[in-house]
Amino acid sequence: MIVFERRMEANALWTLSSFIMAIVAGLAASAVLIASTGANVPDVFGALLQGSVGSPKALATTLVKATPLILTGLATVIAFRAQIWSIGQEGQVFAGAMGGYLGAQLLAGLPPLLFFPGVLALGMAAGMGLGWIAAVLRNRFAVNEIISTVMLNYLVVYLLSWLLQGGPWGETGGTISYHQSPMLPDTAFLPALFGSSRLHAGVLLPFLAAAICALVMSRTPLGYEIRGLGYNPEALRHKGVDIARTVSVIMMASAALAALAGAIELFGVSHRLRADNLIGLGYAGIIVGMIGGLSR
């Protein structure tokens, strides 16, 4: 037991040291690049700090920008910890926004306490549908999830393009067709926090999601199955775990988190469907998850 505890302490120390070294190396590389342009390095770093957390407005903007990245990063952690290499976070973000927008039309008129949970749930359900498709393709037809999720990304993006460009959700003005949906009504905007025009209630959800993910990963049978699937799927199968079911649950849970990011962006930031507001959030989330060491 003592040896095991010491090994765990050593692993934790090594992980912390790795993060610190990565930060120092990143700052050093950035300093070299900045200096090569002739700019003053301390001034640039000071401006970066001031622009991100130097004022209440800057801090609010940072939190809003970080919200979808935290969620898509968590989606990456859930899947990659099980060695399920899903690259579908990008399409799932789009699906979440599309499902939420459809929900806003179906649930219009409901009180906020029912409307917002409803539209966010429909957005998550849309993403879970993509995760389920990829899981079925893997479980029944042995289709690699990297291929299926990337292909699904393209399908969802092109579907949104059709819906907005001449489709039923596109905004038109006279003879001009815009590549966006009409603006949502004010009642469909996520409530603002602390009287801020930027900071919306959706920024609280990533922290709640992170806490739930940590609890699930460390304290539940599903978390054990996720870790076991990543370490030794054959041992997990011999233990009697239904691998196909576990893969489906993991891919759908991961997709739900990514889709929630898209729905929050719609109701908290853009307030209309526009592809350019969503592009890159899923792929950036994969990087966030990897930088975090796939740690919950």
Question: How many domains, the chain?
Answer: 1
- Render pLDDT for 219-271 as a digit per residue (tens, 0 to 9): 999 999 999 999 899 999 998 999 999 999 999 999 999 999 999 999 999 99
Residue 248 host element (H or E): helix 243-265
Residue 258: domain span: 72-292
Whether 193 maps to a domain, the answer reads yes
What number of other Cβ atoms are within 10 A of residue 228's Cβ?
Answer: 18
For residue 6, pLDDT over 70 is answered with no
pLDDT (tens digit per residue) in 49-69: 999 999 988 999 999 999 999
Range with the lowest mean pLDDT among 10-14, 27-31, 192-196, 285-289?
10-14
Residue 61 lies inside a defined structural domain of this protein: no
Residue 29 falls within a domain, yes or no? no
Q: Is residue 100 part of a domain?
A: yes
Q: What is the DSSP letter of 202?
A: G
Model confidence at 1, pLDDT cuts 50, 70, 90, reads: very low
pLDDT at residue 4 in the model: 45
Distance CA 283, CA 87 (A): 8
pTM for the whole structure: 0.91
| Residue 12 binned pLDDT confidence (cut-offs 50, 70, 90) | low
| Structural domain includes residue 9 | no
> Within a domain: residue 196?
yes
**Is residue 200 in a domain?**
yes
Please tell me the predicted confidence (pLDDT) of residue 195. 76
Say how far apart CA 96 and CA 122 lie, in whole Å: 8
d(CA 106, CA 115): 10
* Cα of 212 vs its chain's centroid, Å: 15
The answer on pLDDT for 296 being more than 80 is no
| 247 within domain boundaries | yes
Q: Which residue has the higher pLDDT, 81 or 1?
A: 81
Location of structure tokens 């993060």: 19
